[in-house]
Amino acid sequence: MCFEKISRDKRFLFYIRAFTVIGVVMVFAIVINQLCFLKFNDELVFDYQLCTLFIKTFFSIICLVFLFIFPQKIEIFAIVCFVYSLEISIFQLSNFMNVVLFFLGINLLLIRGFFHRKQNKIRLFFTFILFFICNLSKIRFGFSQFFHSFFVFWGYFFVCSMQVVLFSYFKNLINNGESKSLNLAKFKDLHESDVFLLDAVLNNMQYKVIASELNKKEGTVRNRLNKIYDVLGVYDKMGFISKYHGCDITYSV
């Protein structure tokens, strides 16, 4: 069962890499389309919009390349979604793709278990506030146009928020239907002493605190946990918390 999960995780990482390649192609296609449109309308001058286009393109390519190398860190793709969402929110009145991109980023962070920690929920709250402020800035296009687009915006927002709620509900439903116990004895190279380490991680203890409890160096604890993450097929701390949040960690031969 454990090895089947690891196999599914590897397929998932393959799909992430495939989407990353598609994302790079789409970014270049968007840039070329925008440049051709500006040139056709004799508006190809180096202004703030063109500068913004090149900055977000460079940033997106760097993020996507990083994601291709480390596909388990899908929160990087969420950052790209947020950047494009905020840019559309500020500069484009009738383009509501910003709502779709924003909630796609939220879903990606949800998959990664980003909201299991209280401080991350606070960051999410301020992200929503920033998103709404950027959309309110569209009032500069005129109150009547803003008033019409704002109602359409809320329609998109409602639909996308319902998708996130349903996704979260079914994710919890599936997790509740699975075994809530993780037996480390089923994994090669894992030991009974690792139970304390993983319990501490699930309780959101920092590595330096865990090291202090064990009278070890932080680097030693970090290296051991990275080894455990690799064996479990979760690759890092956030991936482990996302997958095994609420599980009872045991070592039963």
Query: Of 161, 169, 174, 190, which is closest to residue 253 (Cα–Cα)?
Result: 190
What is the pLDDT tens value at each position of the chain, 253 positions in all? 444 454 456 677 788 888 889 988 888 887 887 777 766 665 555 566 677 778 888 888 898 898 888 887 888 888 888 888 888 888 787 788 888 888 888 888 877 777 766 666 777 788 888 888 888 888 877 887 778 788 888 888 888 888 777 776 666 655 554 557 788 888 888 888 899 999 988 888 888 889 998 898 989 999 999 999 888 877 788 778 877 877 888 888 7
Helix (H, G, I), strand (E, B) or coil at 248: strand
What pTM did the predictor assign? Answer: 0.67
Residue pair 87/52 in contact (Cβ under 8 Å)? The answer is yes
174-178, long-range: CB < 8 A, 24+ apart: 175/245, 175/246
Residue pair 83/130 in contact (Cβ under 8 Å)? The answer is no
Please check whether the domain covering 181-250 is classified as CATH 3.40.109.10. Answer: no
Cα separation, 168 vs 175, in Å, equals 11
Where do the domains of the chain lie? 2-177, 181-250
CB hemisphere CA count around 60 (13 angstroms): 25
